[in-house]
Each structure stands twice: as structure tokens, then as C-alpha cells.
Chain A
Amino acid sequence: MATSAPQTALAIPGQLLGSASKYQPGPGTHIHESNLYSSLLGAVHVVQPAKAPGPVKRLTKITPAASPAELPTISVSRSGVSEKREILPEVGNTVLCRVVRIMPRQAVVAILICGDTVLDAEWQGLIRVQDVRATEKDRVKIYESFRPGDIVRAEVISLGDQASYYLSTARNELGVIMATSEAGNTMYPVSWKEYRDPETGLGEPRKVAKPY
């Protein structure tokens, strides 16, 4: 079992993958006594580090000498075993969510998509009033930013409390990406803070995400 694993395509949990001095740990691995072991059942991938683009002409600042990022990264992925694997929202991920409920101090959302993956489980998120936008935070009103049913692109800023992840829309490209008006029509964005109904012509305030 404790053979040199990188040649074999398959790893099972607890299989030795190599020394921690030869590889960097990627997803699906763990370190025990300065050795890398697989922690998942799946295929082993070794990714070589990206080469520095050409020789650097002149040093303009002092850098730390040997950076440890030169090691190839070894990871175990579930591809080939099973497509369905739960993933969790992590801090820094961009998620798509639907607004469930709005309150004066916060909006409660259901997280639907994390990165590129559609989540099976339902995770609850919370956008607090101070996380809606980066400027003029004291003038933010939740009901002028979100309405129940809106689809919002947001970033995870914390694992939050026992119930919900804390999300933020305090960037230009984050905010409402799909909204329906009170008349029930899908609206189009007209500015950073307004959506307009194409049929009635009425505008509604939202925290609008900048289109890509």
C-alpha cells in the first residue's frame, strides 16, 4: 500500500502520496508526520507550478529567498468516481443566492450556487446592512437594495453564526443580477441603483451588480 503513489491514478483514504518536502498539499490530501496522505477516494493529480515568466532583469525589491511555491501540487479529486460531491461555501467564494426575507437590518438569502457548482443542500446566508455597499454605508436601506425573490451575486465574508453565512455585496460587480417588479415583470438595470420595468416604465431601487 505504501508505494510511490503518484504513478497510480487511484488513491484511497490513508494512502501515502509522497513526502511533504516533494509536494505541496492540494485538495483531498492531508499531512501526517511530514508525509502527504490522501483523504479521499479518487484520482491523483500532480500539477507542476507555473514557471516564472522569463528571467527577471533587475530586482526592484527584496524578496524572500526560496519560496516554497516551487513544489508541484498534488491533489485527489473525485472525478471519475462520482460527480456528486457536496461542497461548502468558503470565505472568499462568490455565490449566487435568492433573497428570501428582508428586515430593516439585514436580508436573509438562500445560497443556490457556489462558484460554478449548484449546491444540493440549502444554506442560509445573511447580508447585513453594513455589507450592502462600500460607500455611504450609513444611508443604506435594505428595502432600497433588495426585495424578496431577487437573485443576488455576493461574496462570502464569514462562516457566520450557527444559522447563516455572512455575505457582502460591497463591490461593483456584486449585487442584484435579476429582479422582478411589483407588477411581476423581469426588469433591466439602468444604473448602479435602479432597475426599470420594461412594460410599466417604473423604476425600482436596487443594489445593482455591474454587468460583466
Chain B
Amino acid sequence: MLAYIVRRVLYAILILIGVNLITFVLFFFVNSPDDMARMQLGAKYVTPDALQKWKADHGYDKPLLWNSKASGPGKATETIFYEKSLRLFAFDFGAAEDGRNIGNEIRTRMGPSLALQIPVFVVALCVNITFALFLAFFRATYLDFWGVVLCVAMMSISTLFYIIGGQYLISKVWHLFPISGYAGGLDAWRFVLLPVIIGVVSSFGSSARLYRTLFLEEYSKDYVRTARAKGLAERVVMFRHVLQNAMIPILTGVVAAIPFLFMGALLSESFFGIPGLGSYTIDAIQAQDFAVVRSMVFLGAVLYIIGLLLTDISYTLVDPRVRFD
């Protein structure tokens, strides 16, 4: 297993260089260093000298990818790409264009993101699997039919509708939870309860329907018939046999999603005023803050790679037939 992990880590370095390069090219395809300087300095009284000074101070006065005026390795190293990308591999994210330390921001914002995402993830997983098992148990009955109808209806509605509707109904009309806001520490639960409910409800339709399909597929297999023939109760067949064997496809999606919990939820964080990493990324894109965009994309790529690796490892845990060699 160790050799496998080492091999995957080596692949990861190449992937991360590629991700960095693509982010860099895409960002500078639509933004020039001059645009970034203007964005930071504002629209009034900006002189060409002030622009030049900003670029020099922030290291954007060099060529983007290739410095033909430099000699030797300097042609590649004395460039914006090299200087801005290299230190990411040491997880040194540097400072945002407004001067705030990105590492500190990520550490501070990770908490609120996780406070929202972990309950949504866990509760949604439990609810969706339970409901899918319920539908599978009552397959081909009116309960199954109306359950699927409900899933299809719920997955057809936009997340934004759930957020706005939830805020309106639960907070504005019923006055049960704060409509938005956040507080650190133990007080956080008051603010995350509403987004968690909405997060669970909005993911319900599509996930429950997918899991139901997976369970039904397992139901038709021989081992299920054998289990029943042994006289096992349907409850035992469901939870001990069907659920366990349907775990591989479920894990593929679920384990890979775990690292992404750190990255936050873009929409929910904005609407509920939760100061997590999702809203940080959105803000950075709007402010054309390349330093933050680059760092968040890099972090996302690292987490994705970790997620895939964890998925592979988790296969061996749920299915003894899977081996790394």
C-alpha cells in the first residue's frame, strides 16, 4: 500500500503543477497585472507611476511565463508564474492583494465552513441512505412510487429557491432561526441550524434517488435471495447485506467529498452570512485577487487528490477483494 501511496503522491505533484499553470493562464487571459493594480488602487486619480509602483511592490512587473531578457534559468524563474507558484508547494500562500495573510484567513475561515458542511454532510448522508433503503424496501409499491415522485420534484428545484424560501418561511414568517449571520464557538449552532436544514433538504432528492437505484441493483443479486432463504429478517437483509454491498459506489462519491467540506459552500455561505472559505473564494474572484484565487484552487486540487486517495483506500476496507497490488 505504501508504494501505491508514494506513486500517487508523485503523480499529484505533476497534477498540481498542471492545475497551477491552467489557473495562471486562465486568470491572466482575462486580467492583466494593470487591471489588478487598477482594481486595488481604485478608479480615481490613478497615475501610470502609481500603477507601476503597485505592480513592482506586488511582484507583477515581470513577464508572465517567460523572461527573454534574463539569462540561463532566470528565463523561467524570473517570471510571475514561477515566483508566485513555487512557494505554494510549501503551503506558503503569502498575502492577498489587500495585504491580509492568506494562510491566516484560511485557518480562520475553515472553522465556519466545517461548522456548516460537516452537519450537512453527515445528516444528509444518514437521511438520504435511510430514505433510499425505505424506498428499496417498499419497491414497486405506492410508497416507492410517491417517494420517487417526491425525489424527482425536489431535485428539480434550484438550491437558491430552497435558500430563499427557507429563509422566508422559517426565519421571516415563523421567526424560528436567525435569517443570516454567524457567531464563533458554541453559539454557532443557532446560525448553522437553518442552513443545515436547507442543505439537507436541497440535496435530498438527487442523492436519495441515486442510492435507491444502487440498493435496488443489489436487491436483485443472488446473495440477497440466499440471505432471505436462510430466514433472515428483511431488516437484517437490508442493513447487514444490501447496505454493505452497496457501499462501494456510495463511497466513491462520499469519501471524495469529505476533503471538500473544508472548501465551504459557495451559495449558502453568501446567503447566510457565514464567513467560510466558499465566500472567500467568491470574494476573491470578484475582486480579481489572483493570490487568493490561486491559493484556493491549489488547496482545492490538493484536497481533491487526497479525496481520491482516501476513496481508493476505503475500497479495501469495505470490500476485502480489492487489493492495491
Q: Does A pair with B?
A: no
